[in-house]
Amino acid sequence: MSNAHLQVAVFGATGGTGSLVLQQALDAGHHVTALVRTPAKLTVSHPNLVVVHGSVFDRSAVEQTVRGADTVICALGAPPRSKERLRERGTQFVVDAMVAAGVRRLVVQSSHGIAETRSELPWLMRWVIVPFYLKGVFADHERQEDVVRASDLGWTIVRPPHLSDGPPAAEVAYGPSYDPARMTMSIARADVARLMLEVASDSSHARKTLVVAAAQPQTVAA
């Protein structure tokens, strides 16, 4: 990862992962512009932080947020029963604004279990939790990924499994698909945020989809 300070645009900056992206980016010395619908939810203030007040469905606010950015990180989220299709529709606004502004690098948080990784989910998650409790969330993520893939941007889609608010793992593993020999079925949001920031400045991951998880502990031979 380059040590150069970046201009980072963050969407979903008050969410569980997005707030950590925001804080970690500032801690690393980057300049951050964050679109925030409810400013009261943003507890961070910093000389390198510019807050744009507005909705991700507000074209002018989105354009203002991405203007001059080196990279855009999208961690949009919505309640499981939301009908807004916020991930899909919001990401389309972000993509359109990036194209108009000539900003190329986009990192998007999706979820493990989307599209071809659905078969990698544990039985309970695949056949009970997703169909009955997270059907709308997963459908929104699938349409969101379609929006990203249809663009000609230098995008990277990050697919974490179960998210926790626990401490960062000793080691994180990632790849194009879930590898049970290397990966657990969970990851701390702090690790996802860190990886998204690292990937954002690494063009070798452009136009790739990555499953990211806490690494399996290594077995030490007796």
Q: What is the pLDDT of residues 143-158, one digit of tens each?
A: 999 999 999 999 999 9
Integer Cα distance of 114 and 142 in angstroms: 6
Cβ-proximal residues to 45 (8 Å cutoff; 6+ apart), any chain = none
Cβ-proximal residues to 118 (8 Å cutoff; 6+ apart), any chain = 126, 130
Q: Is the pTM of this model over 0.95?
A: no
Q: C-alpha angle 122/117/82, rounded to 5°?
A: 85
CATH number of 7-214: 3.40.50.720
| HSE-up of residue 200 (Cα within 13 Å, Cβ side) | 30
Residue 8: alpha-carbon gap to chain centroid: 13
Encode pLDDT of 107-139 as tens digits: 999 999 999 999 999 999 999 999 999 999 999
pLDDT band at 219 (very low <50, low <70, confident <90, very high): very low
Residue 29: other Cβ atoms inside 10 A = 11
Residue 78: other Cβ atoms inside 10 A = 17
Integer Cα distance of 210 and 92 in angstroms: 21
